C-alpha cells in the first residue's frame, strides 16, 4: 500500500497521532522540491498538507501535485481558521479541509470518506479493540494513538489473542500456535511475553490480556486477574 505524502516535516503531532492510530502509512517532506526525490516506486496514495507555519509552501505543494500529468488525489489541507481566506480561488488545489486545532475523530472521518469515495481502498487491514489497533499489513500495534515498540513475537502473541477475544488458551496451545511446533521453549516463555506486553500496553490497557487461573490466557475487555 502506497504511503500518504505529508507536509511539513516534522508533521504536527496531532496529525501524526491520527495517521498512526488509523494505520495509514505516510512520509513527510519538508519542501515541495523533495516530493519527487522521496516518492516511492508505486507513487503516493494521496496527501495531507498542513499549512499552519508555512502557507506559501503548503499551497505551492498543492499546486505542484495538481499540475502533474496525473494529478494527485485526494489532497486534504489542514489549516488554522485564520487562514481560511487563503483558500479563495484555490478550491481546485484540494479535495477537503480540516481546521486546526485538529480533532482526531474529524480528520479520521474525512480521510476515510475520501478514500472510500475514490475507491482507492487505502485503509489497511486492521484489527481494532477500543483504543487498541493492530495493523495486519505493517505488523504495528498502537494504543491511544501511541505506537507500541513490540518485538515480532510480542506482536504475534497480541495479534493471535486479539483475533480471538474471549477464548481461553493454555500456555501449551499458545506455544504451538504462536511460536510453532518446532519451538522447544517452556511455558514460562508465554508468561514472560505476556508480562512484557502488559507493561507496554500500560496500566490502563494491561487488562486486555487476562489471566485465567490454572488454565492460561485470554483477550477481553473486563478486568483481569493477576
| Domain spans, the chain | 4-118, 126-219
Pairing relationship of beta strands 75-80 and 96-100 according to DSSP bridges:
parallel
Model pLDDT for residues 197-210, shown as the tens digit of each residue: 999 999 999 999 99
Q: Tell me, what's the pLDDT at 99?
A: 95
Asked if pLDDT for residue 148 goes beyond 80, the answer is: yes
Asked if pLDDT for residue 122 goes beyond 70, the answer is: no
Spell out the CATH class of 126-219: mainly alpha
Asked if pLDDT for residue 226 goes beyond 70, the answer is: no
By the 8 A CB rule, do 77 and 52 touch?
A: no
Pick among 3.40.50.2000, 3.40.50.2300, 1.20.140.10, 3.10.20.30: CATH of 4-118: 3.40.50.2300
In this structure, of 7-16, 89-98, 129-138, 142-151, the range with the lowest mean pLDDT score is 129-138
Asked if pLDDT for residue 20 goes beyond 90, the answer is: no
Q: Tell me, what's the pLDDT at 124?
A: 58
Residue 205 vs residues 25, 153, 212, 226: alpha-carbon distances, Å: 25, 19, 17, 13
Same CATH fold assignment for domains 4-118 and 126-219: no
By the 8 A CB rule, do 161 and 209 touch?
A: yes
Q: Considering only residues 118 and 139, tell me which one the structure prediction assigns the higher pLDDT.
A: 139
For 76, other C-beta atoms within 10 Å of its C-beta total: 21
- What is the chain's mean pLDDT, rounded? 87
Query: What would the mean pLDDT of 118-130 be, rounded to a whole number?
Result: 67
Asked if pLDDT for residue 225 goes beyond 60, the answer is: no
How many Å apart are CA 31 and CA 49, to the nearest integer? 11
Amino acid at each position: 500500500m502506497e504511503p500518504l505524502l505529508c507536509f511539513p516535516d516534522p508533521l504536527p503531532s496531532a496529525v501524526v497521532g491520527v495517521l498512526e492510530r488509523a494505520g495509514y502509512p505516510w512520509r513527510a517532506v519538508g519542501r515541495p522540491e523533495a516530493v519527487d526525490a522521496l516518492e516511492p516506486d508505486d507513487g503516493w496514495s494521496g496527501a495531507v498538507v498542513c499549512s499552519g507555519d508555512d502557507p506559501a509552501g503548503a499551497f505551492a505543494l498543492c499546486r505542484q501535485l495538481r499540475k502533474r500529468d496525473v494529478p494527485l488525489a485526494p489532497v486534504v489541507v489542514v489549516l488554522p481558521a485564520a487562514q481560511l481566506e487563503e483558500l479563495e480561488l484555490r478550491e481546485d488545489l484540494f479535495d477537503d479541509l480540516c481546521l486546526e486545532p485538529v480533532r482526531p475523530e474529524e480528520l479520521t472521518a474525512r480521510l476515510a470518506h475520501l478514500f472510500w469515495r475514490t475507491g482507492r481502498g487505502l485503509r489497511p487491514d486492521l484489527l481494532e479493540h477500543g483504543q487498541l489497533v493492530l495493523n495486519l499489513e505493517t505488523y504495528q500495534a498502537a494504543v491511544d494513538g501511541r505506537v507500541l515498540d513490540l518485538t515480532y513475537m510480542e506482536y504475534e502473541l497480541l495479534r493471535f489473542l486479539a483475533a480471538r477475544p474471549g477464548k481461553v488458551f493454555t500456555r501449551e496451545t499458545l506455544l504451538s500456535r504462536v511460536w510453532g511446533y518446532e519451538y522447544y521453549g517452556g511455558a514460562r516463555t508465554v508468561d514472560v511475553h505476556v508480562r512484557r506486553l502488559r507493561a507496554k500496553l500500560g496500566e490502563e490497557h494491561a487488562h486486555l490480556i487476562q489471566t485465567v487461573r490454572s488454565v492460561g490466557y485470554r483477550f477481553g475487555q473486563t478486568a483481569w486477574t493477576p
